[in-house]
């Protein structure tokens, strides 16, 4: 790991400036140098959520489309992070929302996987492809269902994400959503049974009834939305 990488990882802004100032005609080479995982200094500043360090590197011409060994651009890392300001900085420097990593996931997919609601809003406002699919056919909406992220699911659905897009196995977001809900119902029933408040049969009946009602409600939404 080079000195600039170490400074970027630690968010040492004064050191970053000094190294960049001393680079002279080798500035571009310094900014594009990579570590063992093909991360540039910008990748490391973004991943470690150093806003000021990210800003300094971008102003000096750091490449927003550089990819590490996982295929992540800095925007992929920012999308799954908690600092919306970093995401905004990258987008202001024309980072591509359509960039794909090694799993063919876009930054919006990564935000969906980590339930980063504010990041999702920001990218949706910039016209990110809401129903883009990765190599397994997952849309960002399917990713939220897979992880059980209700907030991100609701946001994507309200912005027009399709419940009927299939992955490569033929599952749609609706199927995964119902599966997660079934698991939750069963878990609640088991907890109630363990507490000894209600018999096992009653718990199971309540679970089945809750799941059926849920499926009917969501099915109605699918038909009429």
pLDDT, average across residues 217-225: 44
The upper half-sphere exposure of residue 196, i.e. CA atoms within 13 Å in the direction of its Cβ, equals: 0
Alpha-carbon separation of residue 78 from 29, 64, 152, 191 (angstroms): 23, 11, 16, 38
42-74 residue pLDDT tens: 999 999 999 999 999 999 999 999 999 999 999
**Taking the complete model, does pTM exceed 0.85, yes or no?**
no
Structural domains of the chain, ranges and CATH numbers in brackets: 1-96 (1.25.40.20)
DSSP annotation of 162: -
69-109 residue pLDDT tens: 999 999 999 999 999 999 999 999 999 999 999 999 999 99
Per the document, the length of the chain is 225
166 phi, psi to nearest 5 deg: -95, 145
Q: Which one of 98-102, 180-184, 194-198, 219-223 scores highest in mean pLDDT?
A: 98-102
């Amino acid at each position: 790991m080079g000195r600039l990488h170490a400074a970027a990882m630690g968010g040492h802004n004064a050191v970053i400036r000094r190294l960049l100032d001393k680079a002279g005609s080798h500035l571009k080479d310094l900014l594009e140098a990579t570590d063992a995982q093909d991360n540039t200094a910008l990748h490391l500043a973004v991943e470690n959520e150093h806003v000021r360090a990210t800003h300094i590197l971008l102003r000096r011409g750091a490449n927003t489309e550089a990819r590490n060994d996982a295929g992540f651009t800095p925007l992929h890392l920012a999308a799954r992070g908690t600092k919306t300001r970093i995401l905004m900085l990258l987008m202001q420097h024309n980072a591509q929302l359509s960039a794909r990593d090694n799993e063919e996931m876009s930054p919006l997919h990564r935000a969906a996987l980590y339930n980063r609601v504010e990041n999702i809003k920001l990218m949706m406002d910039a016209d990110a492809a809401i129903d883009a699919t990765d190599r397994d056919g997952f849309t960002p909406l399917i990713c939220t269902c897979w992880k059980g992220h209700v907030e991100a699911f609701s946001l994507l659905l309200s912005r027009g994400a399709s419940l009927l897009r299939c992955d490569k196995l033929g599952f749609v977001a609706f199927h995964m959503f119902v599966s997660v809900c079934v698991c939750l119902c069963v878990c609640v029933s088991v907890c109630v049974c363990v507490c000894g408040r209600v018999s096992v049969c009653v718990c199971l009946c309540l679970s089945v009834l809750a799941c059926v009602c849920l499926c009917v409600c969501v099915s109605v939404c699918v038909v009429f939305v």
